[in-house]
Amino acid sequence: MIKIGNVTLDNGIPKICVPIVGRTVDELQQECRYLQDKIYDVVELRIDFLKTVTDLNSVNEAITAVRNELPNSAILFTFRTKDEGGETAVPESFYFELIQYAIQSGKINAVDVEYFRNPDSIQSIIALAKKAGVTVIMSNHDFDKTPSFDEITTRLIGMKKLGADVAKLACMPKSAKDVLTLLSATEAVKSQYPDEPLITMSMGKLGAISRISGEIFGSALTFGSAKKASAPGQLEVTTLQQILRALH
């Protein structure tokens, strides 16, 4: 099974990932300390929130600070592009430079790589990550709508064919039927790849059920907020943990 650090993404109760979204190193340290009494499995460093993200020295300071605060935690490094709901716009060349820098830092366990980026650059990052023992989560986010069943399955399978360790898709529902589309597409892909982890979610209040039903439909990781949510519909991490335990 695929791991992020020491955390196995298996077919049981979904693991919990907590995004940290500090705009300064000090804010990131405060968020890490806030997590000390929380139950979670993975921390997502959303580096696109960092005000000085275009300075690699600042990025290094941020990565180092988070690793020092959470020496034993599994850390996922993510720069979410503006196109897919992120905080900061950067050239695509710098986007890949950031991910490469994070992999080579030796201080993170996984990276997020967006599916709709340059395919050659994606392949280079995958090769670098595999060499470094860093897990690649390939992702796609649609904050406007829910793609069709066929489009969701095509994207998730396409990520796997590109070499992703984990395929991730998040989308915004306009109706209950949209939530069902996301869940049924997740189940369909999971049935084709039963031993490979997927991460899917339907966002917003309508999609909250998708964040707690991963064990049934096949999503291995769910996101819970700590101090601040990084996407609409995230449940607070302690509440999320309690719900998952009760369902399990």
Length of the chain equals: 248
CB 115 within 8 A of CB 155: yes
CB 218 within 8 A of CB 9: no
CB 202 within 8 A of CB 231: no
Compute, in degrees rounded to 10, the torsion defined by CA atoms 38, 44, 48, 50.
40
CB 231 within 8 A of CB 200: no
**248 residue type, one letter:** H
Annotated binding site for 3-dehydroquinate: 44-46, 80, 211, 230, 234
CB 227 within 8 A of CB 243: no
- Closest among 111, 119, 118, 112 to 91, alpha carbons compared: 118
CB 222 within 8 A of CB 211: yes
Told to judge if 205 belongs to the known catalytic residues of this protein, a careful annotator would answer no
Give me the phi and psi of 93, to 5 degrees please: -60, -40
Catalytic member of 141, 145, 177, 227: 141
Told to judge if 248 belongs to the known catalytic residues of this protein, a careful annotator would answer no
Catalytic member of 168, 174, 228, 248: 168
**223 residue type, one letter:** F
Annotated binding site: 44-46, 80, 211, 230, 234
Active site residues: 141, 168
